[in-house]
Structure 1
Amino acid sequence: MLENKEFSDENNSSVKNILLLGATGYIGGALCRKLHQTPDFSVFALVRPSSDIEAIKPFCQEIICSKGVEIAKNDVEEAIRKHDVKTIINLAWHMPPELTKEAQFEKDRIALEAALHSARAVSPDIHVIATSGNFSLITADGGRITETPPHEGFEKPDYAAWIDLIVSVNLMKDRLVEEHINNGGNASIVYPSSVYGSSPTRGSFWDFAIQQFITGKPHQGYQPFPPDFMTAWIHVEDLADCYIAAARRSCKGEHYLAAGENLSISQMANLFAEAAQIKFQWTRFENKYNVVFDDSHTRKILQLKWKYKVADQVKSWVERIKELGTYFLE
């Protein structure tokens, strides 16, 4: 365990202690930093022994290493009891994806189940905030997509077939959260849209995804996106605000969608190419499924206003990718 001596809020009754799983990831690093700037929260990070913790050290009250290779129920339960944790935020997942959704689920479920089971063992009042994805909200009919999860057995549209593994795994994890709630537990789900922006750790999946779309060549095993792929985009700092607002609200059974701007992958690639000063003939996109991600309900109940716009941030995004050494456009 690595304790940060600069902190003195752990015993302050006005401060709510948060246990963060996945703190060393892209979103987790930004959330650690934001929580450090928020006086009513104190963050404890539970990490795997193999995790690189240097970037998050300044922002955590304490960094706790799991006893085994993976985060286990006993690790989470011990941290809850020792530090009087009121909220657990789970951002942990495994990349790159496994070959099948079943194999990926077996890995992704480890940290989530540890969080849910430990909360159940200690107190039904402990709030677990789980992470899903906006792709998991896509319905067969497309159209206006809100925080409401699709009904069981829904059929995904053709253009989302390439991302079936991630969608299916998220849906399976979501069912674990719903079961926890139905059994008396306190949990909610955040659905981030496609995340962009700088991070104190490393580049994201989207860094590679946009670049391989522009080049039209597979990169690190991924095929280029279909040109009619529609998503929404949220800056990592705005997403961190969403998690913090959800932690403050601590409301059982709620679903929150963070979808700042609706942009197709081809529209985003065009902005990216312009910022990178790369000649790119972008595919004119027709939103034939009429997909629009609408997070107005989330913004209203969490009292959020998204601060960042893609067009204003994409240049610094490209510069950050170059700095990290993950830039491969020719």
Structure 2
Amino acid sequence: MSDNKEFLSEKSSSVKNILIIGATGYIGGALCRQFSHTQDFAVLALVRPSSNIEAIKPFCKEIIRSQEVEISNNDVAEAIRKHDITTVINVAWHMPPEPTKEAQFAKDRIALEAALHGARAVSPDIHVITTSGNFSLITTAGGRITEIPPPKGYRWPEYLVCFDLLSGVNVLKDALVEEYISNGGNASIVYPSSVYGCAPTRGSFWDFAIQQFITGKPYQGYQPFPPDFMTAWIHVEDLADCYIAAARKGSKGGHYLAAPENLSISQISTLFAKAAQVEFLAPVFENKDKVIFDDSHTREILQLQWKYKVADEVKVWVKRIKELGTYFLE
């Protein structure tokens, strides 16, 4: 465990303790850093016994190691009771990815169910914030995408077939959360769009996905995305601010979309290539499904203003990828 005296001296007695599961990951590391800068929250991280905690230690009031190989309901419940936790955030995702969504779901649901059921075992008032993905919201109808979950039985557009694993897993995990909420549980879902930028720990999925699109070659077993792949983008620190706002709001059944900038894979890769000073002729992009992400409702109810823009941050992003050793463009 880590006992950070700096937090004890700087934070007042009114500070709420927040428990983060998945704190050593890309988004989790950014959450630890951003929450530590607030005046009303202190960070406690619940990690696996094998997790490397060095990068997040400066931001955590305490780091709790799971008693088991995987995080359990008892780990979460014990942490809540011992440290008077008011909010649990789960951003854990099993890495490396499994070959099928069913196998991935079997791994991912462990931490998710531990967060939900561990909180419920202590008090129905404990707020659990879970993480999904914006691709889970897109249907064949396309058009304006908000934080409203799609109806059961919906189909994805053809260009999203390549993303079946992650989207399919998120849909399955969302169903667990919706069932928890319908049974009286206090939970919310955050839908991050494609996340970029610098975090204290490892890099983003998009660090290599953008580069493989520019080269047009498979990388680490993945095929490049199709040119008409439409998404939205959010800086990892803006996303962390969304979680902070959701924690402050504490609304049962909240659904929040964090999607500031609508850019296709072709458009984002053009910006990336320019920042990396490599030649790249982007395919012509046609938004055939007329997909537009609209997070105005989330911004209104959480009183959020996004600080970052891709065009301003892409050079720093490329520099960070080089520092991580994940840069492979010629």
1:49 matches 2:49: yes
Partner of 1:3: 3
Rounded to whole Å, the distance in 1 between the matches of 2:151 and 2:10 is 42
For 1:5 and 1:13, the matched residues in 2 are separated by: 14
Corresponding position of 2:266: 266
Could you tell me which amino acid in structure 2 is paired with residue 204 of structure 1?
S
The amino acid across from 1:271 in the alignment is L
**2:121 aligned partner, one-letter code:** A
Q: What does residue 229 of structure 1 align with?
A: 229
Which residue of the partner structure matches residue 317 of structure 1? Answer: 317
The answer to whether the aligner puts 1:247 opposite 2:268 as a matched pair is no
Following superposition, the deviation at residue 150 of structure 1 comes to: 0.5
Gaps of 5+ in 2: none
Other-structure match for 2:281: 281
CA distance in 1: counterparts of 2:263 and 2:95, whole angstroms: 24
Q: Look up the match of 2:185.
A: 185
Q: Give the SS at the match of 2:160.
A: helix
Cα deviation, 1:193-212, whole Å, max 9, x if unaligned, reads 00000111121110000000
**Structure 1 counterpart of 2:271, which letter?**
L
Cα distance in 2 between the residues matched to 1:302 and 1:142 = 25
8 Å CA contact 1:10–1:83 kept in 2: the answer is: no
- The 3-state SS of whatever aligns with 2:256 is strand
Give the aligned partner of residue 326 of structure 1: 326
CA contact (8 A) 1:104 1:169 kept: yes
Separation in structure 1 between the aligned mates of residue 277 and residue 95 of structure 2, nearest angstrom: 30
Q: Which residue of 2 aligns with 1:124?
A: 124
Structure 1 residue 4, shift from structure 2 partner: 1.7
Unaligned 5+ segments in structure 1 are none
Cα displacement (A) at 1:10:
11
SS at match of 1:6: helix
Distance 1:266 1:318 in 2: 17
Aligned pair in 2 of structure 1 residues 10, 178: CA closer, same or farther (>3 Å)? farther
What's the offset of the Cα at 1:97?
1.6
String of CA shifts for 1:260-306, please: whole Å, max 9, x gaps: 10000010000000000000111110101000000000000000010
In structure 1, distance between residues paired with 2:203 and 2:14: 35
Offset of residue 95 of structure 1: 2.4
> Is structure 2 residue 166 aligned with structure 1 residue 166?
yes
Per the alignment, in what secondary structure is the counterpart of residue 64 of structure 2? strand
Q: TM-score, normalised by structure 2?
A: 0.98
Aligned residue for 1:63, secondary structure, equals strand
Instruction: Report the Cα distance in structure 1 between the residues aligned to 2:72 and 2:53, rounded to whole angstroms.
Output: 19
CA distance in 1, matches of 2:118, 2:209: 36
The code of the aligned residue for 2:184 comes to G
Q: Kindly indicate whether the alpha-carbon contact (under 8 Å) linking 2:11 and 2:39 is maintained by their aligned counterparts in 1.
A: no
Give 3-state SS (helix, strand or coil) of 2:187's partner. Answer: strand
Letter of the structure 2 residue corresponding to residue 198 of structure 1: C
Q: CA deviation at 1:5?
A: 2.4
Q: How many residues align?
A: 330
Shift of 1:241: 0.3
How far apart, in 2, do the equivalents of 1:307 and 1:10 lie? 26
Deviation at 1:108, TM superposition (A): 0.4
Q: 4+ residue runs of structure 1 moved beyond 4 angstroms?
A: 9-13
Equivalents in 1 of 2:233, 2:96: separation in Å?
A: 21
Q: For each residue in 1:194-247, what CA deviation from the matched residue of structure 2 results, as whole angstroms up to 9, or x when unmatched?
A: 000011112111000000000011111111000100000000010000000000
2:305 is matched with which residue? 305
CA distance in 2, matches of 1:94, 1:33: 22
Aligned residue type for 2:154: F
- TM (norm. structure 1) is 0.98
Secondary structure, aligned partner of 1:8: helix
Q: Distance in 2 between matches of 1:221 and 1:54?
A: 30
CA drift at 1:12: 4.9
Q: Deviations over 1:101-140 (max 9, x none)?
A: 1100000000000000011110000000000000000011
Partner SS for 1:207: helix
The residue number in structure 1 matching 2:82 is: 82
- 1:153 alignment partner AA: G
Find the counterpart in structure 1 of residue 201 from structure 2.
201
Matches within 5 A, 1:56-75: 56-75=56-75
How is 1:204-215 mapped onto 2 (pairs within 5 angstroms)?
A: 204-215=204-215
**1-structure distance, mates of 2:50, 2:78:** 20
Contact 1:16 1:41 in 2 (8 A): yes
User: Alignment partner of 1:120: what SS?
Assistant: helix
Corresponding position: 1:35 with 2:74: no
Deviation at 1:96, TM superposition (A): 2.5
Per-residue deviation, 1:13: 4.5
